[in-house]
Structure 1
Amino acid sequence: MAIKSIPSDSMPREKLLNYGPQALTDAELLAIFLRTGTKGMNVLELADFLIKDFGSLRNLFSASQNEFCSHRGLGNAKYVQLQAALEMSHRYLAETLKRGEALTSPEHTKLYLSGILRDRQREAFYVLFLDNQNRVIKDEILFEGTIDAASVYPRVVVKRSLEHNAAALILAHNHPSGVAEPSQADRRITRRLIDALSLVDIRILDHFVIGDGEVVSFAERGWV
Structure 2
Amino acid sequence: MTIKHWPDGEGPREKLLTQGPSVLSDAELLAVILRNGLAGTSAVDVARNMLSHFGGLRKLLAASESQVCKLSGVGPVKYAQLQACDEIARRIAQENLRKGQILTNPDLTRDYLMRQLADRSYEVFALLLLDSQHRVIQFVELFRGTINCASVYPRDIVALVLEKNAAAVIVCHNHPSGIAEPSEADRRITERIKIALETIDVSLLDHMVVGDYDIVSFAERGWIK
Relative to the length of structure 1, the TM-score reads: 0.94
Q: Distance in 2 between matches of 1:212 and 1:110?
A: 12
Contact 1:102–1:136 (Cα < 8 Å) also in 2: yes
User: SS of the counterpart of 2:150?
Assistant: coil
Q: Distance in 2 between matches of 1:68 and 1:2?
A: 22
Corresponding letter in the other structure for 2:219: A
Q: Distance in 2 between matches of 1:160 and 1:131?
A: 13
Q: Distance in 1 between matches of 2:44 and 2:57?
A: 14
2:11: which partner in 1? 11
1:57: which partner in 2? 57
Deviations 1:51-105 (A, max 9, x none): 2233322222111111111211111111122112111111100112222221222
1:117: which partner in 2? 117
Contact 2:169–2:205 (Cα < 8 Å) also in 1: yes
Q: Matches of residues 1-224 of structure 1 in structure 2 within 5 Å?
A: 1-224=1-224
Contact 2:175–2:211 (Cα < 8 Å) also in 1: yes
Consecutive unaligned residues of structure 1, counting only runs of 5 or more, are: none
User: SS of the counterpart of 1:73?
Assistant: coil
Corresponding letter in the other structure for 1:168: A
Contact 2:171–2:206 (Cα < 8 Å) also in 1: yes
Q: Distance in 2 between matches of 1:142 and 1:211?
A: 18
Report sequence identity in percent.
52
Corresponding letter in the other structure for 2:147: I
User: SS of the counterpart of 2:84?
Assistant: helix
Deviation at 1:169, TM superposition (A): 0.8
Q: Distance in 2 between matches of 1:115 and 1:38?
A: 32
User: SS of the counterpart of 1:82?
Assistant: helix
Deviation at 1:17, TM superposition (A): 3.0
User: SS of the counterpart of 2:9?
Assistant: helix
Corresponding letter in the other structure for 1:141: E
Q: Distance in 2 between matches of 1:194 and 1:82?
A: 40
User: SS of the counterpart of 1:125?
Assistant: strand
Q: Distance in 2 between matches of 1:68 and 1:4?
A: 25
Corresponding letter in the other structure for 1:60: L
Aligned length: 224
Q: Distance in 2 between matches of 1:26 and 1:73?
A: 18
Corresponding letter in the other structure for 1:154: P
Q: Distance in 1 between matches of 2:53 and 2:96?
A: 35
Q: Distance in 2 between matches of 1:99 and 1:52?
A: 38
Deviation at 1:3, TM superposition (A): 1.9
Contact 1:128–1:171 (Cα < 8 Å) also in 2: yes
Q: Distance in 2 between matches of 1:32 and 1:48?
A: 12
Q: Distance in 1 between matches of 2:40 and 2:13?
A: 21
Deviations 1:172-202 (A, max 9, x none): 1011111111111111111111111011111
Q: 1:181 to 1:27 in 2, by over 3 A?
A: same
User: What is the CA RMSD across the aligned residues, in angstroms?
Assistant: 1.4
Deviation at 1:214, TM superposition (A): 1.5
- Structure 1 range deviating more: 128-137 or 160-169: 128-137
Contact 2:2–2:37 (Cα < 8 Å) also in 1: no
Q: Distance in 1 between matches of 2:2 and 2:78?
A: 23
Contact 1:98–1:135 (Cα < 8 Å) also in 2: no
Q: Distance in 2 between matches of 1:2 and 1:178?
A: 37
